[in-house]
Structure 1
Amino acid sequence: MSVARRPRLMTLALAAMACAVSACSAYQPAPKSFQQAAIQPYRLDSGDRLRVTVFEQAGLSNTYTVDQAGYVALPLIGQVAARGQTLPALEGTIAARLKQGFLRDPDVTIEVDRYRPVFVMGEVGRPGQYAYVPGMTAQNAVAIAGGFTPRGNQRDVDITRKVNAQVLTGRTSIASPVLAGDTIYVRERLF
């Protein structure tokens, strides 16, 4: 290789490294609404399985799953919109519908029997879909997915989350809380 070409190759190599480093800083930090979603009451969505209890009505008490359209199908009253609802709001909606000609004073309670899963991708041992547990952090999700690969960035992760019917992605620390339905992506570290 000629001496004249070495500086040119060094310049190209440095330019490539500068582009790579600037690409790292091109991430979007998690917006404020993203973090606030973790402290809000739980909002139902497709895939959640609910244990609905109607006091003294064994035929109505059962487990029901929120379908892909965001509805729960119950006996007598049919489809009830559940997507985006909190548990108390859905309890009130079901009680009001049962009160319309079916029961005099229905007492409805709902618990989440199984949360929708979280998805862990990127530089982890076993990428895939995993059960969500309340209080889960990104680090817990990565551990369940087989831990970091040797190339995995262990400082922060990218989380994609639905907030107010809008899908947002933000970079957060591995200690950040995870919500049901989140997608956690572990990037490859540079060095």
Structure 2
Amino acid sequence: MKLLHLTSGLLLGALAACASTPPLASSANVTVVAADALPAPTRADQTVAQRPYLIGPFDKLAINVFGIPDLSGEVQADASGRVSVPLIGSVDAAGQTPAELAATIARGLRGRYVRDPQVTVNLKDTVSQVITVDGEVHEPGLYPVVGHMSLMRAIATAKGVSEYAKLDDVVIFRTVENRHLVALYSLKAIRRGNYEDPEVFAGDVVVVGDSPGRRLFKDIISGSALLTAPIILLQRL
């Protein structure tokens, strides 16, 4: 075993070289173009269809029956996803979109109670359609998913990764047809365009990994001895 004496400057340079930024690269769904050739999005790009929102347990909804205040107001779905509507009673809202629920309520009111009911349902607050973002992000927690959300947007919603994040160790947990699935992603590669930013769905759990090396380096450079003495590293022959 031999001793290597490195000054702080040399250590920083070596670490910087090891952490060099990978080049941009095209993939099946990502095309790299020159900076001055990046086109503006079209109108169709900016009005891409959103994934329909599905009502779930404990969601808060605003129901409006046009011209009939007594039948309008805010309701909250119960644990089974049902809402109580005046005159027609309990309605199963779980799994329906707001527009579908409005149509269901209109059918229940039409004829017996209201000749031609005009019903709208709007989402006020979502509890069921959320993702969990955990690990090395600034604000771990539960975040609502309305429309399309990608992995990068989910992490940005949690205020971004922390200084100790391991960007090539981002895991998504998902349940599909009672099967528990897990997939590993590299946020660094996604940022460089190596592959497409994957979509996340309500119920997903996103965990950003921890980098022990970053923590160790932080501890080393925060020590006062680094400023006055060389660093001694042990290297096996």
Using structure 1 for the length normalisation, give the TM-score.
Answer: 0.63
Question: Looking at both structures, which has the greater relative contact order when contacts are Cα pairs under 8 Å and sequence separation is at least 6?
Answer: 2
> Which residue does 1:15 correspond to in 2?
none
Could you give the per-residue CA deviations for residues 89-135 of structure 1, whole angstroms, max 9, x where no partner exists?
A: 21221111122622222111122222334321122223222344544
State whether structure 2 residue 161 is matched by structure 1 residue 148: yes
Match of 2:131 among 89, 112, 118: 118
State whether structure 2 residue 191 is matched by structure 1 residue 178: no
Q: Tell me the percent identity.
A: 35
> Which residue does 2:17 correspond to in 1?
none
2-structure distance, mates of 1:71, 1:87: 13
Contact 1:158 1:169 in 2 (8 A): no
2-structure distance, mates of 1:72, 1:167: 30
Please state how far the C-alpha of 1:57 moved relative to its aligned partner. 1.3
1-structure distance, mates of 2:75, 2:109: 16
Which structure's CA Rg is the greater one?
A: 2
Give aligned pairs, total.
Answer: 153
Match of 1:90 among 101, 107, 111: 101
Using structure 2 for the length normalisation, give the TM-score.
Answer: 0.52
Is there any run of 5+ residues in structure 1 with no aligned partner, and where?
Answer: 1-37
**Amino acid paired to 1:52:** I
2-structure distance, mates of 1:162, 1:44: 18
Please state how far the C-alpha of 1:81 moved relative to its aligned partner. 0.8
Please state how far the C-alpha of 1:181 moved relative to its aligned partner. 4.5
1-structure distance, mates of 2:184, 2:93: 29
In structure 2, the residue corresponding to 1:88 is in which secondary structure?
helix
* RMSD of aligned Cα (Å): 3.1
